[in-house]
């Protein structure tokens, strides 16, 4: 799946119009094997754009009913900076239960995972994955794909922001010291297990650092991230296996955990 995902994200990066996001999100839905995937963006002027795989009848029904005002997902995500599993939201009110029952009749799945994203000038977006399955299956899915879904959501948002009228360029985001350490060790040829061992962290934690660096660098994969970090002078790597390279590795390994 990794190769397919990198290809789809590459196509997303090459998209030249908002309409192209629809094709990408359908391909991502199929790649992850879920029922629905949705991206909804509100720009700094209040204009909205959405792409996704919900039935159009549900989208029209949602708007006609004014569900935006009572949707627990929207309310929960607007007040959060972290991904939201729908099961963690408050569905106890009659309005919320009626809303959910109505959604299910239109083919909306009983499980959802939404990622709130905020832009630099007041933009707000939601990237959502929706599916029908039991709680255990969904918990396993989100645990496995949590990091990838967060990254994809931010890739969608970055592309959507490119199409916003009169958008000003965003300042580049600096890598954290730990992200620089990880990128440096990968650049000198260590595999992930070796990097994790050198930094005294788990491979899962290392993956978080790598994917955070990928997002900040606008990279499609780890190799692309390393190349961009090197080209921007964010990491310095010796060109041989002599003392200079060994000094880089030793110094990096001794830095304290964060």
Name the pLDDT band for 108 (thresholds 50, 70, 90): very high
> Could you give the number of structural domains in the chain?
2
CATH number at residue 237: 1.10.10.10
- pTM greater than 0.85 (yes/no): no
Distinct helix (H) and strand (E) counts, the chain: 11, 5
Say if CB 146 and CB 124 are below 8 A apart.
no
CATH number at residue 129: 3.30.450.80
Domain hosting residue 86, numbered range: 2-162
| Same domain flag for 158 and 181 | no
φ, ψ at 122 (rounded to 5°): 90, 5
In angstroms, how far is the first alpha carbon of the chain from the final one? 31
What is the average pLDDT value for the chain, to the nearest integer?
Answer: 81
> Looking at 162, 194, 222, which one is the last position of a domain?
162
pLDDT per position as a tens digit, 10-26:
888 888 887 888 999 99
Say if CB 94 and CB 72 are below 8 A apart.
no
pLDDT per position as a tens digit, 129-176:
999 999 999 999 999 998 888 888 888 887 877 776 555 544 456 788
Q: What pLDDT score does 239 carry?
A: 45
| Same domain flag for 184 and 100 | no
CB-CB neighbours of 25 under 10 Å: 23
| Same domain flag for 82 and 109 | yes
Distance separating alpha carbons of residues 128 and 53, to the nearest angstrom: 11
Residue 168 forms part of a structural domain = no
């Amino acid at each position: 799946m990794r190769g397919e995902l990198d290809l789809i994200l590459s196509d997303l990066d090459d998209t030249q119009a908002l309409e192209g996001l629809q094709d990408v999100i359908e391909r991502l839905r199929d790649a992850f094997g879920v029922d629905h995937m949705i991206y909804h963006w509100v720009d700094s002027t209040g204009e909205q754009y959405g792409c996704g795989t919900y039935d159009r009848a549900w989208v029209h029904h949602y708007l006609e009913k004014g569900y935006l005002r009572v949707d627990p997902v929207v309310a929960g995500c607007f007040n959060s900076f972290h991904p939201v599993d729908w099961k963690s939201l408050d569905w106890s009110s009659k309005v919320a239960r009626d809303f959910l029952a109505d959604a299910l009749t239109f083919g909306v799945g009983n499980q959802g995972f939404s990622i709130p994203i905020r832009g630099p000038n007041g933009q707000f977006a939601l990237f959502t994955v929706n599916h029908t399955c039991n709680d255990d299956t969904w918990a396993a899915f989100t645990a496995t794909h949590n990091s990838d879904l967060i990254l994809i959501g931010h890739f969608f948002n970055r592309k959507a922001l490119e199409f916003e009228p009169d958008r000003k360029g965003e300042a580049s985001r600096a890598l954290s010291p730990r992200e620089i350490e990880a990128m440096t060790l990968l650049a000198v040829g260590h595999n992930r297990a070796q990097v994790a061992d050198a930094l005294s962290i788990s491979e899962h934690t290392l993956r978080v650092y790598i994917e955070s660096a990928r997002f900040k660098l606008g990279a499609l994969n780890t190799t692309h991230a390393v190349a961009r970090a090197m080209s921007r002078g964010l990491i310095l790597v010796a060109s041989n296996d002599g003392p200079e390279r060994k000094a880089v590795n030793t110094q990096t390994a001794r830095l304290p955990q964060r």
